Amino acid sequence: MPTPPVFDSDFQKQLDELFKWRRDVRHFKTDPLPDGLLEEFLETATLAPSVGNSQPWRFVIVEDQACKKAIRDNFEACNKEAMQDYDGEKAQTYASLKLSGLDRAPAQVAVFCDSATDVGQGLGQKTMPETLKYSVVSSIQTLWLSARAQGVGIGWVSIIEPEAIKDILDIKEESWDLVAYLCIGYPEEEHDVPELVRFGWQDRLPLSQTVLKR
């Protein structure tokens, strides 16, 4: 049996700091990532837990400029429509937010869940099949923390149409569902407070509002 590592108090404090400084980045530098670093992050992401060890994550590295432009256009259309849901001061705040890094982030990755994978033989999915997507989200969080530990930021673009993104990227597998579209690169600024808090969109909730006892 391998000897387990000992995570001392200094490491535990650093881990807490990593959680605090992991931010959803919207403002990126255009500096490219060093060769192989993105692949290193993706390799780390595959260490995430998955239901039945199904490993349903599928990462598509988007490099084609035509694909990037089409995805940017889809975001613009979706964002314009989303703005109609707000009015008054909230609409002004929404318009001031930079909700994607699609124009500057040097790396972009679409993350899919293969809902028809036979890896793991269906263990743990019968009553909660959505755990496959939860597993993919876990891999994204693992990727996020791994990147942040090396000074790289990630932005999660959700104002897009999943089926349109599949078409743009020529994903033929019907069982692949888009979970996230990620912009990855070095942030223009770093902060331990979420941008949406700093800009007055939404404050953090106290723990007392999110924990129940029965």
- pLDDT tens across 46-105, in order? 999 999 999 999 999 999 999 999 999 999 999 999 989 999 988 888 888 877 789 999
Return the structure tokens found at 109. Answer: 């990755």
Class of the CATH-defined domain 27-201: alpha beta
Among 32, 44, 29, which residue's Cα sits nearest to residue 144?
44
How many helices (H) and strands (E) the chain has is answered by 7, 4
Among 99, 70, 102, 81, which residue's Cα sits nearest to residue 166?
70
The H or E element that residue 144 is part of is: helix 131-149
Distance CA 96, CA 94 (A): 5
> Would you list the DSSP string of 158-188?
-SS-HHHHHHHTT---TTEEEEEEEEEE-BS
- pLDDT tens across 130-182, in order? 999 999 999 999 999 999 999 999 999 999 999 999 999 999 999 999 999 99
Distance CA 91, CA 82 (A): 10
Contact 110, 57 (CB under 8 A): no
- Residue 93: the pLDDT is 86
Q: What is the pTM of this model?
A: 0.93
Contact 33, 152 (CB under 8 A): yes
